[in-house]
Amino acid sequence: MDLFVSFERKMATKSIIGLWLTAVIVAAFAFPTVPNPASWHEFPIVPGLEEKARIIFFHVPMAWTTVLAFIVSMIYGIRYLAKKNMDDDLKSASSAGLGLIFCILATVTGSLWAKFSWGSFWNWDPRETSIFVLLLVYGAYFALRSALEVEEKRASLSAVYAIIAGATVPFFIFVIPRIISSLHPDPIVNSRGKIEMNGSMLTVFLCSLAGFTALYFWMFNLRIRAGRLENKQHSIGE
Amino acid sequence: MPELIFQAKDLTKTFSRRRIFSGISFVLGKSDSLAITGKNGSGKTTLLKILAGVLSPSRGSTEILSDGSRIKDADRFLYLGLVSPYLQLYDEFTAWENLDIFRKVRDSRVPESRLDALLERVRLSDRKGDPVRTYSSGMKQRLKYAFALIHDPPVLLLDEPASNLDREGISTVYGIIEEQKKKGIVIIATNDAEDLKYSNRIIDLDLLKAGGAS
Amino acid sequence: MNVRAAITIFSKDIRSELRTRYALNALIMFVITTLSVILFAIGNESVSPEVLSGVLWIIIFFSTMSGLSRTFVSEEERGTVLTLQLVARPVEVYCGKLLFNLVLLFALNTFTVALYLIFVTSFSVSSYSIFITTLVLGTLGLASASTIIAAIISKANTKGTLYPVLSFPILLPLLLTVINATKMAADGAALSEAAGEFQVLASYLVVITAVSYLLFEHVWKD
């Protein structure tokens, strides 16, 4: 991932991402919601949510990014086990750190959304439970890392744990529907309709998705470069 | 015994960015005995563990060739025996039970009768029915030799061979070393100058480090 | 892999346990104590079978956390890891210890369930076929996941507290499913209705065991 090398390219990337996300945030909040959207910059009104529906522009991209970060962490974990190159462990841990941040953000925004939609911050509904489990996995991952002093062991074991988590967490996709179907019929769950998006909403949404993904990659790259410098510093100090 | 070669190529070990040793290479054949010396902490035990296959080197490799063909890494433990102060046995079991467990796990083709012969060799026959936790450190050391020899390995790795032993124990052990040298390879990690007399090859880890390891 | 080796490691662990009884006594007392606390807490209240299904598996989960790490942690604490590394292939160690944990957990859960059915009067099982199947599949999955995590934490510093922290997210799909199936068993659902749950448990078991089998060597070897 040595994509961004020269100073000019670094500045360019930083600026593009910054401007992009600023535009997304502005559009997310500034575009008005009207009953019958006619012009290109108008959003439809979402029954029950109205203005608060704007949270979708942030919550879903954050949730997506935390999943992406986990997958990247797992992939670099696998590479470490195959080649025992410490750089892969650095990448795995860096991605996991970002994943944790985005997961906290996703959990908080998701909780806000729940509050807007159904009046309570936490319901243990499928998606809330899933994001919470991911938070637990990240927490466990870092708890494990901090309990291991030897670098090589820390790298191997956290890679193994990430892979095990990656293998078992998807089971939620199968487990949750069965749990839900056997719950008492719950009006809150049933009225959790999708937010109908029109063209302009969809555009802003997708731009936000792309923006957050780019933000993740940029921060990932930054953390790796910082980590490598730190490693060099330690080696020189020896 | 088939023609045996034990080979080390460019062994390097780094722990948490501290270089322990590097560039260690040698080739040993039947009747060769190698002594590894160096002060405490110089990496003798680490090197021995790498040669025993229980620790991976950061770079480099070790190989055992039997009649020219390379033994698979996963099977190497069948060709090696290790004695070390770090080796522990199950002290709730008797000496005989310990040896029997390890016999069955490692290579069950070894007959039960071998265990009594081994205990006889290390002079523990009279205590074979006692739990190992009742043993003195010298007795435990001798039992470790029995453990290392159950499967009659061609390569014997000894970390501080005479530790905890009285005079009788030491002479038993050197008897074992001489026998082993005739049939195979002995590698000793030691600080004891006496042990060096038993070896025809020496690696001094302190000298290697001072000389600027390659 | 030499099956005899795995079996010998398994029987070594069993014999050691029977000889010293370190874990068994503590585990039995743990189950009794936890159940007593719960009975005191419930008192004369009537608690729904749904909640009681969950409580049963809470007891099982925590007794698993109390007992199943011992097989690896004791080797680390006594310094016999090196010894095992010298005589056995990693896969033989894994299979032997998995088998040990399996037997231990089956015994423990049988004890727990028996006590639970006797003393928690508001909880009764209407569909034993669902209940037994759930217990069997749940115990298998629980033992398998707990074994690989036990191997991992045995190499770390704060083993005791780390064990449930690492295990819980991994086990959550299994726990949710077995609790759900136990509810069905308490309600008296038909066996076929729980088929989905059993499918999830069976596939979870296969996945976690396969992944553990493939990754164990990276945990065990240095």
Share of chain A above pLDDT 90, in %: 37
CB contact under 8 A, B16 and A150: yes
Q: Nearest CA of chain C to the CA of A5: how many Å?
A: 35
Q: Which residues of A touch B17 (CB under 8 A)?
A: 151, 231, 234-235, 238
Q: Measure the CA–CA gap between C20 and B128, rounded to whole angstroms.
A: 20
The predicted structure's pLDDT at residue A194: 57
Distance (Å, whole) CA A43 – CA A196? 10
Which stretches in chain B have pLDDT values below 70? 1, 211-214
Per-residue three-class SS string for A122-167: CCCCHHHHHHHHHHHHHHHHHHHHHCCCCHHHHHHHHHHHHHHHHH
Q: Is A163 on the interface with C (CB under 8 A)?
A: yes
Q: Within chain B, where are the H helices?
A: 44-52, 95-106, 113-121, 137-149, 167-183, 193-196, 205-210
Smallest Cβ–Cβ distance between C87 and the set B55, B77, B92 belongs to B77
Does residue A56 carry a pLDDT above 70?
Answer: yes
Q: How confident is the model at residue A30 (pLDDT cuts 50, 70, 90)?
A: confident
- Name the residue among A186, A195, A223, A209 with its Cα closest to residue A106: A209
Question: Using a CB-CB distance cutoff of 8 angstroms, which residues of chain B are in contact with residue A235?
Answer: 17
**Residue ranges of A 81-100 with Cβ closer than 8 A to chain B:** 84
Residues C2, B86: C-beta atoms closer than 8 Å = no
pLDDT of amino acid A19:
83
CB contact under 8 A, B17 and A150: no
Residue C71, CB-side half-sphere exposure with 13 Å CA sphere: 31
CB contact under 8 A, A168 and C148: no
pLDDT score of C98 more than 90? yes
Tell me whether A237 touches chain B (CB under 8 Å): no
Cβ–Cβ of C212/A147 closer than 8 Å?
Answer: no
Radius of gyration of the CA atoms of chain A, in A: 21
**Residues of chain C whose C-beta is under 8 A from some C-beta in B?**
2, 4-5, 8-9, 12, 15-16, 19-20, 78-80, 82-89, 92, 221-222
> Are C4 and B108 in contact (CB < 8 Å)?
yes
Point out the residue among C145, C158, C200 whose CB comes nearest to the CB of A174. Answer: C200
Please check whether residue A236 touches B, CB under 8 A.
no
Res B214: pLDDT: 40
**B residues 46-65 closer than 8 Å to A (CB):** 56
Average pLDDT, chain A: 81
Chain C residues closer than 8 Å to B108 by CB: 2, 4-5
Residue B1 CB neighbour total at 10 angstroms: 10
**Partner A contacted by B17 (CB < 8 A):** yes
Q: Tell whether the model's pLDDT for residue A183 goes beyond 90.
A: no
Q: For A74-110, write each residue's pLDDT tens digit.
A: 999 999 999 999 999 999 999 999 999 999 999 998 8
Residues contacting B87, CB < 8 A, separation 6+: B144, B147, C79, C82, C83, C86
The pLDDT value given to residue C6: 96
Distance in angstroms (rounded) separating the CA atoms of residues B99 and C15 = 15
Q: Do C184 and A174 touch (CB under 8 A)?
A: no
In this prediction, residue A37 has a pLDDT band, given cuts at 50, 70 and 90, of low
- Whether residue A143 and residue C166 make contact (CB cut-off 8 A), yes or no, is yes
Please report residues of C whose CB lies closer than 8 A to that of A152.
222
Interface test with C, best of A80, A148, A164, A176 (most C CBs within 10 A): A164
Q: What is the pTM of this model?
A: 0.91
Name residue, tokens 């005191």. C40
pLDDT, greater one: A238 or A63: A63
B32-48 pLDDT per residue, tens: 999 999 888 888 999 99
Residues B56, C221: C-beta atoms closer than 8 Å: yes
**Residue B188 Cα, gap to closest chain A Cα (Å):** 27
Under the banding of pLDDT at 50, 70 and 90, the label for residue A165 is: very high
Q: Do C80 and B106 touch (CB under 8 A)?
A: no
> Most B CBs within 10 Å: which of A152, A228, A234, as the mutation test of the B interface?
A152
Instruction: Give pLDDT, residue A58.
Output: 85
Q: Tell me what pLDDT residue A60 has.
A: 87
Q: Do C88 and B108 touch (CB under 8 A)?
A: no
**Interior angle at CA C208, CA C142 and CA C102, nearest 5:** 40
How far is the C-alpha of B24 from the C-alpha of C189, rounded, in Å?
69
What pLDDT score was predicted for residue B139?
94
**Residue B19: beta bridge partners?**
B14
Give residue A41's pLDDT.
Answer: 66
Q: Least CA distance to B19: which residue of chain A?
A: A238
The whole-number pLDDT of residue A40 equals 64
Q: A5 in contact with B at a CB cutoff of 8 Å?
A: no
Chains with 3 or more CB pairs under 8 A to chain A: B, C
Say what angle helices A151-168 and A126-146 make with each other, to 10 degrees. Answer: 160
Chain B partners (3+ C-beta pairs within 8 A): A, C
pLDDT tops 80 at residue C39: yes
CB of A42 within 8 A of CB of A31?
yes
Judge contact between B189 and B47, C-beta under 8 A.
yes
Q: Give A157's contacts in chain C (Cβ within 8 Å).
A: 152, 155-156, 218-219
Residue A185, pLDDT above cutoff 50: no
In this complex, which of C168, C177, C219 lies closest to A175 when CB atoms are compared? Answer: C177
Percentage above 90 pLDDT, chain C: 81
Mean pLDDT for C137-153 is 97
pLDDT at A43 over 90: no
- A186 pLDDT tier (thresholds 50, 70, 90): very low
